[in-house]
Amino acid sequence: MRFKFYIFVLVVSAFGWSDFARAQPAKPATRSITVVTEPNAIVWIDDIRRGATDASGKLIIKTAPAGVRKLRVRADGFKEAAQTLTAAQKGEVKVALVKTTDEAEIAFQQAETAVSADREKAIELYRQAIKLRPRFAEAQLGLARVLLDNNDTVESLKAVREARKIKPVYPEASAVEGRIYRAEGDEEKAIAAFKKAIREAKGFQPEAHTGLGLLYKERAEGFGSEGDLEQEKINYDLAAAEFKTALTQLSGAPDAEVIYQMLGISYEKQQKYTEAIRIYEEFLRVFPDSSEASAVRSFIVQLQKQMKEQ
């Protein structure tokens, strides 16, 4: 795999059917902001993780989406804070955090930190948070995610359903449900869950769009191996449309790196080299310092060579 897959895996397109092959991801207006808060705090804009603050408590976001947005910040030992990022705000945005003694919140934060290093410990901490606060939807969903990462789809689905009992309209839970069904090979239920997530979020749900894109891409590969070129093309077109929407919604967030990869591959598989090159060039503009930048440049050279040989 060309990129490191960090994303939650993980879109309904605004493009017409006849435009799939040539359309580019819309480039939303952006601005640069610097979030100033506690050190090592995680920052989200519209529930999209944008990174963590440095030792001085600052995080520069060069591609923050324009318009009115929801800014959310969490740091270990502090109560999570959310505030509105107004359309006119740019430059420094200060977010004051308050210390917390809430044992459920602290257990939840510890679980979130443990996920990448010790899944079993994370599961234990999520369950502890839920025991301390039974109506803790975010902890239920965190538990569902780590159980899914452990390939325990049965218990993961139970946690999703518990989360939805607390929050009946929960787009993120529906997106995770889609991922569970996709992992189980139930494509129809996965598609229904991803589309539900998108409806619940009024269109803005990049995790669900990414999940749909991956599902359609896998379908295309299956049809290709069977020699069904018509269905292969239809599903690559669907995949490309979903990935484009996810890219637009992620607006330069770190998770967008892997989506560029998926979209580029979708084009390459159809020998749409011009479109693939355009996507890889866009990747280099958005992520010039990526560890994958040199590899992406080599992809462009290879594709240009293939175009000349056609």
Phi-psi region of 230 (alpha: psi -120 to 50; beta: other; left: phi over 0): alpha
Question: What local confidence, expressed as pLDDT, does residue 308 receive?
Answer: 86
Q: How confident is the model at residue 310 (pLDDT cuts 50, 70, 90)?
A: confident
Task: Return the H-helix or E-strand segment holding 74.
Answer: strand 69-74
Contact call for residues 81 and 100 (beta carbons, < 8 A)? no
Question: Which is it for the CA torsion 299, 15, 224, 185, positive or negative?
Answer: positive
CA–CA distance, 253 with 206 (Å, rounded to integer) = 11
What lies within 8 Å, CB to CB, of 144 at 6+ separation is: 156, 157, 159, 160, 163, 173, 176, 180
Q: How many CA atoms lie within 13 A of 272 on its CB side?
A: 21
Is the pLDDT score of 28 beyond 70?
no
Q: What is the pLDDT of residues 178-227, one digit of tens each?
A: 999 999 999 999 999 999 999 999 999 999 999 999 999 999 999 999 99
Distances (CA, A) of 58 to 36, 63, 82, 94, 290: 5, 15, 16, 9, 20
Query: How many helices and strands in the chain, by DSSP H and E?
Result: 11, 9
What percentage of the chain has pLDDT greater than the value 70?
Answer: 91
pLDDT surpasses 50 at 161: yes
Candidates 193, 243, 174, 192; CA nearest to 213 is 243
- Per-residue pLDDT tens digits for 228-249: 999 999 999 999 999 999 999 9
Mean pLDDT in residue range 155-173: 97
pLDDT at 3 over 60: no
Residue burial 241-270, b: 16+ Cβ < 10 Å; e: rest: bbbbbbbbbbbbbebbbbbbbbbbbbbbbb
Q: Average pLDDT of 107-125?
A: 95
Q: Quote the mean pLDDT of the chain.
A: 89
Burial of 89 (0-12, 13-18, 19+ CB in 10 A): middle
Report the pLDDT averaged over residues 106-132: 96
Q: Which helix (H) or strand (E) holds 204?
A: none
Q: Is the pLDDT of residue 21 over 90?
A: no
pLDDT at 16: 33
Copy the structure tokens of residue 129. Answer: 């948070």
Query: What is the residue type of 206?
Result: P
> Does position 14 have pLDDT exceeding 80, yes or no?
no
Q: What angle do CA 41, 43, 48 make, to 5 degrees?
A: 150
Enclosing H/E stretch for 233: helix 229-250
pLDDT band at residue 27 using 50, 70 and 90 as cut-offs: low
* 173-190 pLDDT, tens digit each: 999 999 999 999 999 999
Rounded to whole angstroms, the Cα distance separating 198 from 246 reads 11
Maximum Cα–Cα distance for the chain, whole Å? 66
Backbone angles phi, psi at 126, to 5 degrees: -60, -45
Q: Across residues 269-284, what is the average pLDDT?
A: 93
Q: Provide the pLDDT for residue 15.
A: 31
Identify the H or E element spanning 290.
Answer: none
The pTM score is 0.86
- Condensed to tens digits (0 to 9), the pLDDT of residues 39-64 reads 999 999 988 899 999 999 999 998 88
75 vs 117: CA distance, rounded Å: 18
* Most confident segment among 19-28, 60-69, 263-272: 263-272
